[in-house]
């Protein structure tokens, strides 16, 4: 169980947020509040569980605190809704679709003699509040990270965050993941899953080693992108940082992050911005089309398993287990395909003889389709990938001098993050932060306010 320090850290974070908003420009305050909170606050089960509310955790407390500062300091300019009609529709669908899910699940589910409870109006209220809390980082970033300078700040923040996190990650590679236990008094995940390739996979204060490795991947891409676009005078220092972070990622022993790095690093270094943007669009399009492709049998599972087996038989067995669960859960979801089954494990498959849940939901997409149906899936994934398509539309006929080139690698990171939500549930506040920042910048370009001369990329300004 979490110790007193875990509770105190979460309780004091709103005060930290107030200080950050007083000391920093609002965009940087938003980045610092969410990024530092995500990296260093304790994971669930640490949090506060109030009546009628979903648990308040490290994923929601920083965002909620920053949202209140937004309203307090900028109430005269408080316009939270995007200007894109498509984004507005997806946002309202994301927030309000749980109401319809509740209304279509007012009866219990029976598995033999075992019963899973029905949904109630109370569940509907809690579900809607949860959706609002999830999407707050998107709204904050769209408002405060919509300019070229903000994209630069965000990429520098990712790189610096990776540098800071690399030290405790290296410590856990050597000693095993212990920091969350030492500092906050508990393990945040199954310790057996930290053992990989004859060593340890670090977690630090994140939910799982996959989450830690993916954040390090984001830092690597940011460092290579900053180097390629020559964002500081000592440009080769950025290249050295990128190589160091890549070495740490190798030691982090996460096969998925390795594969992503093998694609993204050469793409950033070798490809031009237009081809990078096309790659981001293709990845985003596949991520949102994957459930439909899987439903009609167009995902080559056998070939994927054979390829994974040639790399690591254990990872191939894990992937096969995921595919099997996805197929069973997808069949279950088809019974309530439009609005889903809701929560309380109603979307899972139970053994009617002993009441044991037989399925495991790993990927975010199968969780969404099972709980909120296709509408819930399209609302969330659509809101996340929409800025990639908006920016592709706005930049494909523009000169590179007319927009910040950093939005291209940032779009790649976002697209790969959404792609990673197919095998994993790696939706974090940083995912929403990137989506909101890119949506805001797409609106800036659309309004004709996004002209960004190439000479600006060579002008150093303090990052912190």
| Structural tokens at position 55 | 């648990």
Q: How far does CA 37 lie from the centroid of its chain?
A: 14
d(CA 211, CA 199): 18
Helix, strand or coil for residue 200? strand
Per DSSP, helices labelled H in 312-428 are 313-333, 364-395, 407-420
Distances (CA, A) of 41 to 5, 170, 269: 10, 19, 34
Instruction: Show the tokens assigned to 131.
Output: 């959706």
Q: Which pTM does this prediction carry?
A: 0.92
Angle of the 235-252 helix axis to the 255-270 helix axis, nearest 10 = 160
Q: Which residue has the higher pLDDT, 125 or 318?
A: 125
- pLDDT reported for residue 80: 87
State how far the alpha carbon of 182 is from the alpha carbons of 3, 178, 189, 190, 192, in Å.
10, 6, 14, 16, 18
Share of the chain above pLDDT 70, in %: 97
Is the model's pLDDT at 315 over the cut of 80? no
Our measurement of the distance from residue 117's CA atom to the centroid of its chain's CA atoms, rounded to an integer in Å, reads: 30
| Cα(352)–Cα(355) distance, integer angstroms | 6
pLDDT of 277 higher than 50: yes
Domain locations in the chain as residue ranges: 1-78
> Residue 457 carries which DSSP code?
G
CB 352 within 8 A of CB 114: yes
CA of 105: how far to CAs of 50, 121, 349, 441, in Å?
24, 11, 16, 39
Measured at the alpha carbon of residue 268, what is the angle toward residues 281 and 168, in degrees to the nearest 5?
Answer: 105
Phi, psi at residue 116, to the nearest 5°?
-110, 130
Q: Average the pLDDT over 238-266 and give the result.
A: 94
pLDDT at residue 52 is higher than 80: no
Which comes out higher in pLDDT, residue 151 or 447?
Answer: 151
How many degrees, rounded to 5, is the angle at CA 383 between CA 377 and CA 387? 140
HSE, side-chain direction, 13 A CA sphere, residue 96: 6
Question: pLDDT digits over 184-233, tens only?
Answer: 999 888 888 778 777 899 999 999 999 999 999 999 999 999 999 988 88
Alpha-carbon gap, residue 322 to 315, rounded angstroms: 11
d(CA 109, CA 335): 12
**Statement: residue 402 has pLDDT above 90:** no
């Amino acid at each position: 169980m979490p110790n007193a320090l875990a509770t105190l850290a979460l309780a004091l974070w709103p005060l930290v947020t107030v200080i950050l908003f007083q000391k920093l420009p609002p965009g940087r305050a938003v980045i610092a509040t969410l990024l530092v909170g995500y990296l260093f606050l304790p994971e669930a089960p640490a949090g506060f569980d109030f009546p009628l509310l979903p648990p308040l955790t490290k994923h929601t407390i920083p965002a909620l605190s920053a949202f209140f500062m937004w309203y307090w300091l900028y109430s005269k300019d408080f316009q939270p809704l995007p200007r894109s009609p498509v984004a507005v529709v997806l946002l309202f669908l994301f927030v309000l679709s749980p109401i319809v899910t509740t209304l279509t699940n007012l009866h219990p589910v029976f598995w033999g003699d075992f019963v899973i409870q029905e949904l109630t109006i109370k569940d509907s209220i809690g579900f809607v509040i949860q959706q609002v809390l999830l999407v707050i980082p998107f709204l904050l970033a769209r408002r405060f990270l919509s300019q070229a300078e903000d994209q630069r700040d965000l990429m520098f923040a990712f790189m610096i965050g990776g540098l800071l996190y690399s030290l405790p990650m290296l410590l856990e590679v050597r000693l095993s993941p212990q920091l969350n236990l030492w500092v906050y008094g508990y393990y945040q995940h199954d310790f057996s899953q930290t053992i990989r390739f004859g060593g340890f996979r670090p977690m630090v204060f994140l939910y799982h080693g996959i989450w830690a490795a993916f954040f390090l991947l984001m830092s690597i891409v940011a460092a290579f992108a900053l180097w390629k676009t020559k964002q500081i005078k000592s440009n080769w220092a950025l290249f050295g940082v990128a190589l160091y972070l890549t070495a740490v990622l190798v030691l982090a022993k996460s096969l998925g992050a390795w594969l992503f790095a093998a694609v993204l690093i050469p793409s950033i270094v070798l490809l031009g911005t237009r081809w990078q943007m096309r790659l981001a669009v293709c990845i985003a399009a596949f991520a949102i089309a994957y459930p439909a492709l899987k439903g009609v049998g167009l995902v080559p599972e056998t070939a994927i398993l054979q390829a994974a087996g040639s790399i690591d038989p254990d990872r191939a067995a894990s992937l096969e287990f995921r595919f099997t669960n996805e197929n069973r859960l997808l069949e279950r979801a088809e019974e309530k395909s439009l609005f889903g089954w809701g929560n309380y494990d109603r979307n899972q498959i139970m053994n009617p003889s002993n009441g044991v849940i037989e399925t495991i939901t790993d990927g975010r997409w199968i969780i969404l389709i099972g709980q909120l149906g296709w509408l819930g899936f399209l609302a969330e994934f659509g809101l996340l990938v929409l800025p990639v398509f908006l920016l592709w539309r706005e930049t494909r006929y523009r000169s590179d001098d007319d927009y910040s080139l950093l939005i291209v690698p940032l779009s790649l990171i976002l697209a790969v993050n959404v792609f990673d939500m197919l095998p994993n549930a790696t939706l974090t506040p940083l995912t929403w932060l990137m989506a909101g920042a890119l949506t805001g910048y797409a609106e800036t370009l659309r309004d004709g306010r996004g002209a960004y001369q190439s000479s600006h990329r060579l002008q150093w300004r303090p990052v912190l």
